[in-house]
Amino acid sequence: DIQMTQSPSTLSASVGDRVTITCRASQSISSWLAWYQQKPGKAPKFLIYETSNLETGVPSRFSGSGSETEFTLTISSLQPDDFATYYCQQYRTYPWTFGQGTKVEIK
């Protein structure tokens, strides 16, 4: 299986901060990476596919970059609605696997 490792596990930030989350794959996944946002008690929400393509309706303050084994999710100016846990997911090879999550909490 391809292991996905996110860092940090928890991130404390303030409204307006620029936030970056890193996701590393144990082997190359080309650009086959997605990002999700999950709030407590809710299902994950799909944000980004193929590393950098925003799903329709996702605010432009979200962006993704990277390739092969290292990827980032950036929130350019953190908003109150963005405090949540974020997961990356690779879809290069079965089984599809997720990172362990990064919790973005209020500083």
For another protein, the binding residues (CB under 8 A) are: 1, 32, 34, 36, 42-46, 49-50, 55, 87, 89, 91, 94-101
CA 50, CA 29: separation in Å to the nearest integer?
Answer: 10
Smallest distance from another protein to CB 55, Å: 7
The span from the CA of 2 to the CA of 22, in Å, is: 16
CA angle, corner 9, sides to 6 and 13, nearest 5? 115
Closest contact distance (angstroms) between CB of 66 and another protein is 16
Side chain identity at residue 34, one-letter code: A
**Cα–Cα distances in angstroms (integers) from residue 67 to residues 30, 37, 60, 88, in the given order:** 6, 20, 20, 13
φ, ψ dihedrals at 61, nearest 5°: -70, -15
Nearest approach, Cβ of 18 to another protein (angstroms)? 25
Which residue, 15 or 46, has its beta carbon nearer to another protein? 46
Query: Is the CB of 17 or the CB of 38 nearer to another protein?
Result: 38
User: Which lies closer to another protein via its Cβ, residue 16 or residue 41?
Assistant: 41
The residue among 16 and 42 lying less far from another protein, judged by its C-beta, is: 42
